[in-house]
Amino acid sequence: MLFLHRMKKSYILLLTVVFSAVSVAQPVNYSPAYFGPNANPVHQFGDATIPSETTVRLSGSHFFGFGDNTTNPTISVEIPLLPRFVSFKLWYVPIEHYRVSQAVFDQRNMTDGLSGFAQGDVYIQTRILLATETRFRPSIILGSTLKTASGGEFHQRRFFDTPGYFFDLEIGKSFHFENRFLSELRAVGNLGFLCWETTNSTQNDAIMFGGKIILSNRLFDFENTLAGYHGWMGNGDSPLVFSSKLRFKRERINFFVQYQYGIRDFPFHHIQAGIAFRLPTLTPRFGQSSAS
């Protein structure tokens, strides 16, 4: 009887420890509201065109406000496999530096200090022109994108430790004017499906959406975008952002600056500046011959 009594007490103690651990542990919210700004951001879609030459974009970003300050470079390369019809695109955040407040540290259930460095994810995309723009018809581009799980510092809630993917359509139509200040107005819409894995092999599915207006002349483009996605879990997985970008155009090099504000589930201000340049020597030869 004494043995059984001790076994009963040990069993009760074990259950108490297990249930205490479960109650203390906090579930991880795989959503942009509870991770760093580069973990699962709103996709920056293009202008519904595919370049005729290889294009490289180098930029620097600074996210601030709401208790999270993050700085990082971004590298992007788009290679036209078939100019203006099919392209291969890759972009990557090689490293970021972050500093968060104690309140954000506690909210995200971080484990290892208020600041540090993290390596980012790699995105791989194929873009295919489905419909060429005509006088009455918009251009339509289908994008297929894979996000790797290469990002680090998951325990610091910087990047997901799971892969993801999305499919989207870019639909664009231009309207031209005989005006020195405004020569073109281009309207672009974006619609897609985004999926990423969370805990216990569960996945979150989201509808992507967005629209932008681009005002152009020979010297600059002024672009305003409203975009976001809507997940089904309701755990901060429905970000909505507004951004304005000013692009200064040169023959082969463009300079741009952008400001983005997180309206919902993306608690960041974002300032970005960079350059984009075309590299005809790195354009596939069969693509160059097709373009001529």
Dihedral angle, C-alpha 152, 146, 231, 187, nearest 10 °:
120
Cα distances from 144 to residues 26, 107, 181, 260, in angstroms, run: 34, 34, 36, 24
Q: Is residue 22 part of a domain?
A: no
pLDDT in tens, 65-88: 999 999 999 999 999 999 999 999
pLDDT in tens, 186-215: 999 999 999 999 987 789 999 999 999 999
Name the band, by pLDDT with cuts 50, 70 and 90, for residue 181: confident
CB 113 within 8 A of CB 104: no
pLDDT at 5 over 70: no
- Judge whether 20 lies within some domain: no
Average pLDDT of the segment spanning 125-153: 96
Please check whether residue 128 lies inside any domain of the structure: yes
| Residues 59/272, Cβ–Cβ less than 8 Å | yes
Please report whether residue 121 resides in a domain. yes
**Which residues are registered as beta bridge partners of 270?**
63, 260
Tell me whether residue 235 is in a domain.
yes
Tell me how far apart the alpha carbons of residues 30 and 154 are, in angstroms, rounded to a whole number: 10
Instruction: Name every residue whose Cβ is closer than 8 Å to that of residue 159 and which is 6 or more positions away in sequence.
Output: 35, 36, 38, 39, 118, 119, 120, 121, 151, 152, 153
Residue for token pair 């755990």: 235
Q: Which residues constitute the domain of residue 275?
A: 29-291
Say if 1 falls within a structural domain: no
Q: Would you say residue 178 has pLDDT above 50?
A: yes
Residue 97 lies in a domain: yes
Q: Give me the number of domains the chain comprises.
A: 1
CATH number of the domain where residue 196 is located: 2.40.160.40
> pTM of this prediction?
0.86
Q: Which residues contact 239 (CB under 8 A, 6 or more apart)?
A: 32, 33, 41, 42, 228, 229, 262, 264, 265, 266
Kindly state whether residue 219 falls inside one of the protein's structural domains: yes
- Alpha-carbon distance values, 59 to 99, 272, 277 (Å): 20, 7, 12
- What is the mean pLDDT of the segment spanning 103-115? 94
Token digits for 272? Answer: 């970005």
